[in-house]
Amino acid sequence: MEFEDSQFEFIDPASLIKLNHHQTVLYADYRKELIEFLRNKGKNPNRNRGYSESNIRPISRRIHQAFEFAWKSEPISITLSTEQANQFVKALNQDNFLKSKGDPYKEGSKRKFSEAVEAYYRYRDIDWEPKIKFSESQTNSSSDPFTRSEREKLLNASFEYRSPPTYSNTSPEERERWNRHLAQFLGKSKETIGPADWDSLNRCWKIPSLISTALDCGWRAAMVGRLQTSQVNIEESQINIPPSVAVKNNESWVAVLSSRSTKMLRRWIEQRDNHGKYDNSDNIWLNRKSNPYNSSTLNSLLSNLIEEAAISTDGRRLTWHSIRHSTGMYVYNKHRDLGLVADILRHSSLESARRYAHPTPESKKEVIQSIQWSETP
């Protein structure tokens, strides 16, 4: 039986050599359904949000590569079991799954493979999470800054992060899917999830307060995991950092918050007392596994927000440090004061702050516009 190229979009049909005729026919049908799902629902099935067209090809190819890895062992199947997925991620981690030329994948590429497999299980409506988390391996200094408009997009995306639709406006199938998701996210049994849980997440200020204060203060990832409610002074719009908590210095300091962040943080602190996982913790924010945030979990959160906000990387490397980089860049652009940059970002020297003393994308555009020919003398 001959197959059209469209039936194996983005892959080489020769890679299916281990499949028999029946498996090839079924796999062709499956690929068409999967790619349609990625385009229309892959990013967030509950909100019918798909990936951008530029992401469809790499994601679907990575999913196929996971299948090729699984096909090295018998029996051959056109579905990927969770055990095979775990073995694939383990092979990535141990550099036993390599590029065609025999080179190991970089940490960022390993993370993209893992995220592609997660998208595959969203297609199958199966809860799966990799046992190993990958993050970017490059140094923070190589992270590119967000633009001013992208900073606002991140904050706006945080308002809808993990937010379910209205309980009464969902079908039984959608409600079942969301209940399963919320149970995992909230650490509760699915049977106990009800309208109140849906409403609480729609009104939750956890992620908005985290992102807004990070935009103000340029938090280092390690700092986010150390911040505690006892350090917050809402009335003065500040967070007091003691030497025992400070990162890369041993002096106390005061992080000043904008009025916007103060309002969000006030609301979150009022809400957090209603969450059981904070009963034995003074941390301002805990991740969904009830642990303090770290570089890996913050980069994972940021990656989701970037997708939600439809921010294009354009060849840039955007990490949690990109928030800090952009805060320093715009502070310097506004005041031309390295001392102020060092104070806000809590650098020990002006030399450390100097890395952020460069033009913003907006200012470069203004300069280019200003030197163009004009009829006005």
Query: Residue 135: helix, strand or coil by DSSP?
Result: coil
In a domain, 119, yes or no: yes
If asked whether residues 209 and 334 sit together in one domain, one would say: yes
Query: Tell me: the pLDDT tens digits for 286-333?
Result: 988 889 999 888 998 998 899 889 898 888 889 999 999 999 999 999
The residues facing 44 across adjacent strands are 49
Task: Check: CB of residue 223 under 8 Å from CB of residue 205.
Answer: no
- Whether the predicted pLDDT of 138 surpasses 50: no
Residues 230, 321, single domain; the answer is yes
Domain region containing 120: 5-134
Three-state SS for 247?
coil
pTM exceeding 0.85? no
Same-domain pairing of 105 and 218: no
pLDDT tens across 249-267, in order? 778 889 999 999 999 999 9
Q: Do residues 159 and 302 both lie within one domain? A: yes
- 115 and 253 fall within a common domain: no
Tell me how many domains the chain contains: 2
Do 246 and 299 belong to one domain? yes
Round to whole Å and give the CA distance between 214 and 177: 32
Query: What is the structure's pLDDT at 7?
Result: 55
Evaluate whether residue 21 is within a structural domain.
yes
Spatial contact of 65 and 16, defined as CB atoms under 8 Å apart: no
The answer to whether position 241 is within a domain reads yes
CATH code (residue 293): 1.10.443.10
Query: Residue 157 domain-assigned?
Result: yes
Which residue has better confidence, 198 or 164? Answer: 198
**Residue 318 covered by a domain:** yes
Instruction: Please tell me the distance from the alpha carbon of residue 338 to that of residue 308, in angstroms, as a whole number.
Output: 34
Distance CA 195, CA 315 (A): 42
- 266 and 129 assigned to the same domain: no
Count of CA atoms in the C-beta half-sphere (13 A) of 177: 18
Tell me, what's the pLDDT at 100? 85
d(CA 360, CA 336): 12
pLDDT tier at 71, thresholds 50, 70, 90: very high
Write phi, then psi, for 218 (nearest 5 degrees). Answer: 65, 45
Asked whether residue 125 falls in the same domain as residue 228, the answer is: no
User: Is there a domain that residue 375 lies in?
Assistant: no
d(CA 174, CA 180): 10
Does 212 reside within a domain? yes
Q: When comparing pLDDT for 313 and 8, which is higher?
A: 313
Q: What percent of the chain has pLDDT over 90?
A: 45
Does residue 259 share a domain with residue 327? yes
Examine the domain organization and report whether 322 and 274 are in the same domain: yes
DSSP assignment letter at 271: H
- Same domain? 91 vs 156: no
Residues 219 and 305 grouped into a single domain:
yes
Identify each DSSP E strand in 135-279 by its residue range.
232-233, 238-241, 253-256
Is 304 within a domain?
A: yes
